[in-house]
Structure 1
Amino acid sequence: AMGDKISSDPRNELFNSYIKLVRDLSPEFFLFENVKGFKTMYEGRFFEKTVNGFASCGYNIHFKILKSSEFGVPQIRERVFIFGTKSDKNFQFPKSSIGGVGKLKSFKNVGEAINDLSKKDTSFQNHIILNHSETVVSRYKLIPEGGKLPSPEKLPKEIRRSNFGSTYERLDRKKVSKTLVPGNNAFPIHPTLNRSLTPREAARIQTFPDNHIFEGTRRKQCILVGNAVPPLLASKIANEIIKHSKDLHKESSNLILEKNNSLNVINFAKAKSKKTNFNFVDFFSGAGGISIGLKNAGMNCVLANDFDKNVRLTHLKNFPNINFVHGDVRNKNIKNEIFNQLDGKKIDLVVGGPPCQGFSIFGKRRFKNTKKYNPLDDDRNDLVKTYFEYIKKIKPQWIIMENVSGILNLGGGIYIDFIKKKLNLLNYKSFDYRIVNTADYGVPQKRKRFILIANNTGHIIPWPKPKYFLEPKEWQLPYRTVGEAISDLANKASQKHFSNHEPMKHSEDITERYSYVEEGKKMEVDKLPKKLQYAKYTGQKIKNFSHVYRRLHRNEPSITLVPGHNAFPIHPWLNRLITAREAARLQTFPDEIEFVGSSKDQCIQVGNAFPCLVAQRIGETILKTISNNWKPNTKSKLADYSILDKKYYEQKNQNTN
Structure 2
Amino acid sequence: MGEQLPVVSLFSGAGGLDLAVERADAEPLVGADPGSGLLRVSVATDYNEPALATLKANFDSTATLTGDIRTTPTEQILATAGLRPEEPVLVVGGPPCTPFSKSGFWLEQKRESRDPNASLLDEYVRVVRESRPEAFVLENVQGLTYKTHKAQFERLLKGLGELGYNPQWKVLLAADYGVPQLRRRVFVVGRRDGKKFEFPEPTHSGWSERDRTIDTTKIPHVTAAQAFADLPRLVRASTEEIVDGQYGELAAEVPPGQNYLWHTERYGGRNHFEWRSRYWTFLLRLDPNRPSTTLQAQPGPWVGPFHWENVKTANGDQRVRRLRVNEMLRLMSFPDDFKIDGTRADVQRQLGNAVPLELGKAVVRALMDQLGYLSPSHTAREVIFA
CA contact (8 A) 1:465 1:642 kept: no
Q: 1:570 is matched with which residue?
A: 306
Determine helix, strand or coil for the equivalent of 1:584: helix
CA contact (8 A) 1:459 1:626 kept: no
Q: How much has 1:444 moved relative to structure 2? A: 0.7
Question: 2:294 corresponds to which letter in structure 1?
Answer: T
Deviations 1:540-582 (A, max 9, x none): xxx7543240111111011111112544411022331212321
Q: Does residue 591 in structure 1 map to residue 336 in structure 2?
A: yes
Distance 1:427 1:579 in 2: 45
CA contact (8 A) 1:503 1:579 kept: no
Q: How much has 1:521 moved relative to structure 2? A: 0.8
Distance 1:360 1:522 in 2: 21
CA contact (8 A) 1:286 1:605 kept: yes
Q: Does residue 422 in structure 1 map to residue 159 in structure 2?
A: yes
Distance 1:317 1:494 in 2: 29
CA contact (8 A) 1:552 1:570 kept: yes
Q: 1:438 is matched with which residue?
A: 174
Q: How much has 1:322 moved relative to structure 2? A: 1.1
Question: Could you tell me which of 204, 209, 224 is aligned with 1:482?
Answer: 224
Deviations 1:112-169 (A, max 9, x none): xxxxxxxxxxxxxxxxxxxxxxxxxxxxxxxxxxxxxxxxxxxxxxxxxxxxxxxxxx
CA contact (8 A) 1:521 1:551 kept: yes
Question: Could you tell me which of 81, 86, 89 is aligned with 1:348?
Answer: 89
Q: How much has 1:506 moved relative to structure 2? A: 3.5
Q: How much has 1:494 moved relative to structure 2? A: 11
Q: Does residue 550 in structure 1 map to residue 284 in structure 2?
A: yes
1:253-272 → structure 2 map (5 Å cutoff): none
Q: Does residue 323 in structure 1 map to residue 57 in structure 2?
A: no
Q: How much has 1:360 moved relative to structure 2? A: 3.6
**TM-score, normalised on structure 2?**
0.78
Distance 1:568 1:508 in 2: 15
Distance 2:150 2:270 in 1: 47
Q: 1:358 is matched with which residue?
A: 99
Taking a change above 3 Å as real, the CA distance of residues 514 and 276 of structure 1, as seen in their structure-2 partners, is: farther
Q: Does residue 522 in structure 1 map to residue 263 in structure 2?
A: no
Q: 2:142 is matched with which residue?
A: 405
Determine helix, strand or coil for the equivalent of 1:449: strand
Question: Could you tell me which of 47, 68, 83 is aligned with 1:307?
Answer: 47
CA contact (8 A) 1:299 1:619 kept: no
Q: How much has 1:510 moved relative to structure 2? A: 4.9
Deviations 1:372-397 (A, max 9, x none): x5x4x642222111111111111101
Distance 1:474 1:407 in 2: 31
1:372-411 → structure 2 map (5 Å cutoff): 373=112, 375=113, 378-411=115-148
Distance 1:393 1:434 in 2: 25
1:142-221 → structure 2 map (5 Å cutoff): none
CA contact (8 A) 2:259 2:285 kept: yes
Q: 2:77 is matched with which residue?
A: 338
Distance 2:216 2:121 in 1: 44
Q: 1:178 is matched with which residue?
A: none
Deviations 1:95-123 (A, max 9, x none): xxxxxxxxxxxxxxxxxxxxxxxxxxxxx
Which runs of 5 or more structure 2 residues have no equivalent in the other structure? 25-37, 207-212, 311-319, 381-386
Deviations 1:494-547 (A, max 9, x none): 99xxxxx996134376553332111111133346569xx69xxxxxxxx75432
CA contact (8 A) 2:74 2:130 kept: no
Question: Could you tell me which of 283, 286, 292 is aligned with 2:19?
Answer: 292
Distance 2:106 2:186 in 1: 17
Determine helix, strand or coil for the equivalent of 2:359: helix
CA contact (8 A) 2:135 2:191 kept: yes
Higher relative contact order (CA 8 A, sep 6+): 2
Which runs of 5 or more structure 1 residues have no equivalent in the other structure? 1-272, 496-500, 535-542, 631-637, 644-657
Distance 2:22 2:236 in 1: 28
CA contact (8 A) 1:439 1:479 kept: yes
Q: Greater shift after overlay, 336-345 or 301-310?
A: 336-345
1:54-203 → structure 2 map (5 Å cutoff): none
Distance 1:366 1:482 in 2: 33
CA contact (8 A) 2:65 2:77 kept: yes
CA contact (8 A) 2:168 2:196 kept: no
1:453-468 → structure 2 map (5 Å cutoff): 453-468=189-204
Q: 2:209 is matched with which residue?
A: none
CA RMSD of aligned residues (A): 3.2
Larger helix fraction of residues: 1
Q: How much has 1:278 moved relative to structure 2? A: 2.2
CA contact (8 A) 2:7 2:42 kept: yes
Distance 1:406 1:309 in 2: 26
Determine helix, strand or coil for the equivalent of 1:413: helix
Distance 1:592 1:424 in 2: 39
CA contact (8 A) 2:122 2:156 kept: no
Determine helix, strand or coil for the equivalent of 1:591: coil
Q: 1:581 is matched with which residue?
A: 326
CA contact (8 A) 2:164 2:192 kept: yes
Q: How much has 1:312 moved relative to structure 2? A: 2.0
Taking a change above 3 Å as real, the CA distance of residues 473 and 450 of structure 1, as seen in their structure-2 partners, is: closer
- Identity across the alignment (%): 24
Deviations 1:23-42 (A, max 9, x none): xxxxxxxxxxxxxxxxxxxx
Taking a change above 3 Å as real, the CA distance of residues 503 and 363 of structure 1, as seen in their structure-2 partners, is: closer
Deviations 1:231-264 (A, max 9, x none): xxxxxxxxxxxxxxxxxxxxxxxxxxxxxxxxxx
CA contact (8 A) 2:242 2:322 kept: no
Q: Greater shift after overlay, 472-481 or 451-460?
A: 472-481
Distance 2:192 2:239 in 1: 46
Question: 1:618 corresponds to which letter in structure 2?
Answer: V
Number of positions where the alignment pairs a residue of Structure 1 with one of Structure 2: 341
Distance 2:136 2:54 in 1: 25
Taking a change above 3 Å as real, the CA distance of residues 366 and 287 of structure 1, as seen in their structure-2 partners, is: closer
Q: Does residue 607 in structure 1 map to residue 352 in structure 2?
A: yes
CA contact (8 A) 1:408 1:415 kept: no
Q: How much has 1:294 moved relative to structure 2? A: 1.2
Question: 2:156 corresponds to which letter in structure 1?
Answer: I
Deviations 1:330-368 (A, max 9, x none): 124x75642421343521110111124334444469958
Distance 1:404 1:331 in 2: 24
Q: How much has 1:453 moved relative to structure 2? A: 0.5
Determine helix, strand or coil for the equivalent of 2:156: helix
CA contact (8 A) 1:444 1:558 kept: yes
Taking a change above 3 Å as real, the CA distance of residues 568 and 339 of structure 1, as seen in their structure-2 partners, is: same
Distance 2:51 2:339 in 1: 11
Taking a change above 3 Å as real, the CA distance of residues 326 and 295 of structure 1, as seen in their structure-2 partners, is: same
Question: Could you tell me which of 339, 360, 365 is aligned with 1:620?
Answer: 365
Determine helix, strand or coil for the equivalent of 2:355: coil
CA contact (8 A) 2:178 2:203 kept: yes
Determine helix, strand or coil for the equivalent of 1:461: coil
Taking a change above 3 Å as real, the CA distance of residues 362 and 568 of structure 1, as seen in their structure-2 partners, is: closer
Determine helix, strand or coil for the equivalent of 1:279: strand
Question: 1:329 corresponds to which letter in structure 2?
Answer: I
